[in-house]
A and B are shown apart, each in its own frame.
Chain A
Amino acid sequence: MKKVTSMLLVLVMVLSLLTACGEQTEPTEAQGKTEAPTSAQSGETAAPTEQAGKAPEDYKGTLRVWSVWAEDDGATLWIDKFHEIYPNIELEFHKFSNNGDGNLALDTALTAGEVDVLMNFGIARVDARAQAGLLYDLTDFLAADGLDSVENWGLEDNIGGKIVAIPMGGNNDHIIINKDMWDAAGLGEVPTSWTLDEYYEAARKMTKTAADGMVEVYGCSNFHSIYYAALLARGYLGDNYYFNEDGTASTDQQVWKDAFEPNYNAEMVEKIQYPLIKYRDDGIQAYAPFYEGKVAMSSMTNAMTRRIANTDEYQFDFDITYAPIPTLYKDQETNYCEGIYYFTHLSIAQDCPDPELAWQFVKWFSTDGSVYFSNTGHMPTWKSVDRSAIVSVLFGSEEEAEKLIDVEAYKRVVLNYDAPTYVEYNTTASSKLGGTLNSWIMEMMRGNISIEDGFAEMKKEMDQEIAEALAQ
């Protein structure tokens, strides 16, 4: 019996080693591969779309779409509009959260061949999936349909001269303002451009402190996902803001400290900014203190607009207006935070059994149908999108929008398609750099380390992460 058990264990071990070390065999049909698909890594070419002689209604089948928005979150509109053109393509939405666990679920489904179309959030995700050969090469589809990626989305390529993901959705960072509080503080006209000093001056005036010293209303808030200190730094640095020209971490540049120190003072010394520690420790969403009237203005992305438009769940009992993210320096010529940066990238899975069918949806949703994507609060990036229709898609009509927000300011600040923005072309260790930035920011905020030493340690750790990523 002992011998049999030992033999079994040895057999399992040997098999596992052999399986792991073995060459990858050619994909079989059972794995969901078709004759035409190509790998973004392999350098093969994709089969062109068979447009000739095929009407939209001739495309038949079901697509499994992995998205953070399902039918209940706005996808019903996309499905209805898509069916007006492609009545015979069924869209089956699978919802995932854009966090570590959600993306793990998506990656597992991708490797198991359970995905046809997917949304990638952030270029780092696109890069990782493309490197792993999980995304279908769209270059030939684009060429066959005469869609120039630069003309349509301002995109040259994703990876190695190929396009495996269309950056069809973007975000805009801005300051959302409680106009009632702004007016009550006698601040006059909301600026169309301003510096950080002017921003904090306004925050100072809007902060309300009770007799016992407790802050009742913070003048401002700057909890912005991982971009707490990065927001102003990237507004100054632009593309690849995490990196110096030599490829090392840019956090040794003075601009990072200049961006962080005012935040620290506003929060820890003056107490005019909603505490970052409170957001993080209590798991408070960025929108919540603004919605609850606990902050007078807050840095925000356009995703907030969906909440404002959702009057069933959220009732903002004050007027809302918008201002751009302030510049860090008075003489700063360009503010890269004003424009719309890529965020949502649409891809076809490499194992999709019918890439041509999937392309019909990807193409539609990245072009004509992209306007409907704005019902999520995110921005379509297609250059030819009907910008005036975005407000109507979100709010029903401009008149309805006027009841909730300052439409003129919204169009000028949030729908600022022509303003400069930044692109993260360099994705080296990108998933780690944000986490490292966050950790050291928190250490400095807690006073566990001086700002000088904190940034020195941050730089050291980031350089190490970059070097490790490059060595792999």
Chain B
Amino acid sequence: MQTKKIGTINEQKRRDTITAWLFLAPTLISFGAFVVFPVFFSAFLSFTQWDFISGISSIKFVGIRNFVKMFQDEEVINALKNTFIYTVTIVPISLCVSLVVAYMLNDKVHFKKTIRMMFFIPYISNTVALATVFKGLFRSDGPINMVLRDLGVSELPQWFSDPNLAKLPIIILAIWTGIGYQMLIYLAALQDVPTELYEAAEIDGASPLKRFLKVTIPLISPSTFYLLVVRTIAVFKLFSSVKIMSGSSSERISTTLVLEIYRAAFGEYEFGYASAMSWVLFAIILMVTLVQMWGQKKWVHY
């Protein structure tokens, strides 16, 4: 009787397991085919030379040549420098601006919902469309230069070809599009700050600035840390806006590592080289994230 019961339970468990696997199967198969396989295949390809049009049999093992080449390739080094410039400008500025906007919207302001929506729309808009609009704004005869001309500027800036200016439209666009999402996260964090703490600080004679620095900033630091990590990763992967906005004249000035990966793979059909670059980018992002994780212990208050 006891044995029969155990057998029934085991049978039920087996059925449940099969059912679970069947439910998981579509996701697992697509995950395997579109994530796991490409990841391992690209790791393998990074040690090879391959143009996909010659077929799989033309894959040639080249050892670490792709990695060595990368660090001798001026374009890649330049792209890497640019990527770091974008990161150290876009991430802090966009976080600061988002926090200021969120702080203002957390107070009593007119048209709060409308303003919030206005800041959020760029985040949900198509980056290609936004980049195209920005490209139009910064054209040599675009609205921005026309305003500058009306203001009496005689030597109008060449936004996309001047090495000192070419990254600026891209940075502005990236900051602008990021504000909406970051603002929402900060708004949620600000609303979670206990009001008693502000009241206590006020009784102790803390000025509004001091309250912001000593109460608000520490208490929203987990959100800041989260945004810092995700935004850094996003900026390291900056692609569409740079692809659209950097004309052929400013490619070298504003290119990023992801753009170089794309160019190597789909422009030059150097899939081995592109894979090697992808893994180096992955390693850099991982390293930066680990440093951030390590550093958060000193300034994030949970």
Chain A residues in contact with chain B, CB under 8 A?
Answer: 8-9, 12-13, 16-17, 19-24, 100-101, 104, 107, 110-111, 128-129, 131-134, 275-278, 280-283, 431-432, 438-439, 442-443, 446, 448, 472
Contact = CB atoms under 8 A, between A and B. Distances in A.
A280 B54 contact: no
Nearest to B32: A12
Contacts of B139: 281-282
B54 A283 contact: no
B162 to A, nearest CB: 7
A170 B84 CA distance: 45
B250 interface: yes
Contact of B32 (A8, A107, A128, A131): A8
A218 to B, nearest CB: 14
A134 B51 CA distance: 13
- For the complex of A and B, the 8 pairs showing the least CB-CB separation, nearest first, are A24-B57, A280-B249, A281-B160, A132-B54, A132-B53, A13-B40, A442-B249, A16-B41
27 contacts: A8-B36, A9-B36, A9-B40, A12-B32, A13-B44, A16-B37, A16-B41, A20-B45, A20-B56, A20-B59, A22-B56, A101-B266, A129-B53, A132-B51, A132-B55, A132-B58, A275-B140, A277-B158, A280-B249, A281-B159, A281-B249, A283-B247, A431-B268, A442-B249, A446-B162, A448-B163, A472-B49
A19 B52 CA distance: 14
B41 A20 contact: yes
A446 B164 CA distance: 12
A104 B163 CA distance: 30
A134 B58 CA distance: 13
A16 B43 CA distance: 10
A281 B40 CA distance: 39
Nearest to B267: A100
B260 interface: no
A289 to B, nearest CB: 12
Interface in B250-302: 250-252, 266-269
A110 B52 CA distance: 11
Contact of B249 (A20, A277, A431): A277
B256 to A, nearest CB: 16
A460 to B, nearest CB: 11
A17 B61 CA distance: 11
B44 A20 contact: yes
A47 B124 CA distance: 57
B167 interface: no
Contact of B54 (A20, A131, A443): A131
Contacts of B59: 20-21
A216 to B, nearest CB: 13
B54 A439 contact: no
Contacts of A23: 57
Contact of A281 (B48, B57, B161, B163): B161
Contact of A12 (B40, B267, B269): B40
Given A100-B266, A281-B250, A442-B249, A19 B56 contact: yes
Contacts of B248: 280, 438, 442
B49 A12 contact: no
Contact of B140 (A111, A131, A282, A443): A282
A346 B71 CA distance: 40
Interface in B14-41: 32, 36-37, 40-41
B54 A133 contact: yes
A111 B135 contact: no
A283 B56 contact: no
B40 A104 contact: no
B135 A283 contact: yes
Contacts of A275: 140
B104 to A, nearest CB: 36
Interface residues of B, number: 39
A446 B161 contact: yes
A27 to B, nearest CB: 10
A12 B36 contact: yes
A356 B251 CA distance: 45
B141 interface: yes
Interface string B58-78: 110000000000000000000
A154 B215 CA distance: 82
A446 B163 CA distance: 9
Contacts of B252: 439, 443
A283 B243 CA distance: 13
Contacts of B41: 16, 20
A281 B251 CA distance: 10
A431 B266 CA distance: 13
Contacts of A133: 54-55
A224 to B, nearest CB: 13
A13 B42 CA distance: 10
B158 A24 contact: no
A104 B56 contact: no
Given A132-B54, A432-B268, A439-B252, 11 more contacts: A20-B59, A100-B266, A100-B267, A107-B53, A107-B269, A132-B55, A133-B55, A275-B140, A278-B140, A281-B158, A281-B160
Nearest to A13: B40
Contacts of B162: 446
B53 to A, nearest CB: 4
Interface in B134-171: 135, 139-142, 158-163
Contacts of A21: 59
A13 B40 CA distance: 6
Nearest to B59: A20
A23 to B, nearest CB: 6
B229 to A, nearest CB: 26
A399 B58 CA distance: 56
Nearest to B45: A20
A72 B93 CA distance: 48
B107 to A, nearest CB: 42
Given A9-B36, A280-B247, A446-B161, A111 B55 contact: yes
B54 A277 contact: no
A311 B49 CA distance: 50
